[in-house]
Amino acid sequence: MDFNFDPRYLKSMMGKSVHLSTIDNKSHYGTLYVVDPVSYAFVLATSSEEDSKHTIRIYPYNSIKDCVEVTGLPLDNLITVNKVPPEEYNERKRKLIDWFVKNQLELHDDNGILKLNDYVLTIEPPYEAEQCFCDNIIVLDRIRTLIKNMPL
């Protein structure tokens, strides 16, 4: 398998039009919707302009040979992102830090990226549960739950 399974690289590919090559020498085109952080399964979203059908397919990591960004393809509108306006980042970051302190956890701000326990876990803007990254699935699950339970 020649493909780079680096989490930051995979994150940068999400939401982009991609060409996915599998080990059975088949090509698949679509929007990389998400990559499961545990199993590295790829979720590829496609749509057909003729009949307006949307398809979601899951590809296990061991079947993937390569995944490259494709430019010039029309992006489908399957992905909608609930974005926090940039002016709310600082307020949300402050509330998140306060919430962690109340739960006896200390976050460090490293140029806008919040880090826990010497880089074990990072939280990137807009500081929601989906922006948590950690190699330990148990820690990741607990921190995401903590963030989801944070009072507004």
pLDDT of residue 99: 96
> What pLDDT does residue 123 have?
92
Whole-angstrom Cα distance, residue 25 to residue 12? 25
Burial of 35 (0-12, 13-18, 19+ CB in 10 A): buried
Q: How far is CA 112 from the centre of its chain?
A: 18
| Average pLDDT over every residue of 107-111 | 89
Check residue 2 and give its pLDDT: 55
Residue type, 124: E
| Whether residue 1 has pLDDT greater than 50 | no
Topology of the domain covering 7-69: SH3 type barrels. (2.30.30)
| Secondary structure class of 109 (helix, strand, coil) | strand
The answer for residues whose C-beta is within 8 angstroms of residue 7's C-beta and 6 or more apart is 37, 133
pLDDT for residue 119 is more than 70: no
Residue 78 has pLDDT above 60, yes or no: no
Q: Which are the contacts of 12, defined by CB distance < 8 A and separation ≥ 6?
A: none
Residue 85 predicted with pLDDT over 80: no
If residue 137 lies in a helix (H) or strand (E), which one and from where to where? helix 137-148
* 53-59 and 121-123 beta bridge pairing: unpaired
* Tens of pLDDT, residues 32-71: 888 888 888 999 988 766 666 778 899 998 899 888 888 7
- Point out the least confidently predicted range of 23-27, 72-76, 96-100, 118-122: 72-76
Tokens standing for residue 55? 């398809």
Residue spans per domain, the chain = 7-69, 86-148
Tell whether the model's pLDDT for residue 120 goes beyond 60. yes
Collect contacts of 147-151 with beta carbons under 8 A, ≥24 apart.
Answer: 147/96, 147/99, 147/123, 150/95, 150/96, 150/99, 151/99
